[in-house]
Amino acid sequence: MRALLSHQPGGPDTLQLSELPDPTPGPGELLVRVRAAAINFPDVLIIEDKYQMRPPRPFAPGGEIAGEVIGLGDGVTGWSVGDRLLAVPGFGGLVEQIVIPAASAFRLPESRSFAQGAALLLTYATSIHALWDRGQLKAGETLLVLGAAGGVGLAAVELGKARGARVIAAVSSEEKAQAARDAGADEAIVYPRGPFDKDARKALAEQFKAAVGPKGADVIYDPVGGDYCEPALRSIAWEGRYLVVGFPAGIPRLPLNLTLLKSCNVCGVFWGAFAARDPKANQAHVGELFALWDAGKISPRVSATYPLTRGGDAIASLAARQVIGKVVVEID
């Protein structure tokens, strides 16, 4: 089978299309013909050895997939050859075939494409866990979403509206602002690109405060980090919840006196660990996501697709922060 492999740490240009033996499923495992693999920011980091997980090389990036069952390991029940599924293996998805635990797979309805299925779980499951569990978002509250045109950002916008919140989207271009409005944001603001000096951080904080209103943001969803973090935190409401989701702009350092002055919580969001520690709760969230999808309240946005031979280009586009929604590698 073909696989796009990382043989040494480096950027997307270091990935090599290679031939590997077809895998064989073990007990409790499914052999899956991968039809689509979505690209996420961890794929940018993992090939550079900058992610918290470092698989032994060579390995394929690609953290979430959709495909069909082509083989069953011993003891697997409830699945048959030909069944359509989606899953989040964490890495290894940019291949023609992959082995995954049967317990980690979810059924993909016939009405949904493989590209849509591949684009659902990581972003929406992260966002529903963040907003429902960690942020305790309630109807009528104000939600500020940074990086609101990316995969997790658009998911947070849609889920916030489904929850009945007032959603303020913060993005880096007018094109991205329109995408956030199309996803249901009540208002979208365009912030400048960092890094920022002290005056620029102060100006950005005032921009956030003006957008969320005098009460402040009850929940702030931050998948960006960097110099955007402190200005956003300054716009939080009394007893607000700041959700730490990711750091493509860098890992920030917060002045903790702000948390005291606002009596607010800074909450880490690690969906992968949550799903592993509480699979029943995660399964319930995924069931809710499918119900919201059926109701038209969420819809994964795939802005571009690439063939396996150009999987590195897909990762590079995400690293350059050019992507609105998700990019997907389709594997024929």
2-120+301-330 has CATH 3.90.180.10 classification: yes
Summarize the confidence of residues 109-117 as an average pLDDT: 95
CATH superfamily of 122-272: Medium-chain alcohol dehydrogenases, catalytic domain (3.90.180.10)
Neighbouring-strand partners of residue 190: 171
**Which residues belong to CATH 3.90.180.10 in the chain?**
2-120+301-330, 122-272
Summarize the confidence of residues 19-34 as an average pLDDT: 97
User: Cα(165)–Cα(160) distance, rounded to whole angstroms?
Assistant: 5
Task: Answer whether residue 332 shows pLDDT above 90.
Answer: no
Please state which of the ranges 17-21, 50-54, 94-98, 131-135 shows the lowest mean pLDDT: 50-54
User: Cα(36)–Cα(41) distance, rounded to whole angstroms?
Assistant: 17
User: Degrees (nearest 5) of the Cα angle 69, 315, 279?
Assistant: 45
Shortest CA distance to 24 belongs to which of 73, 95, 94? 73
Q: If you search the block for the tokens 């300054």, which residue do you land on?
A: 234
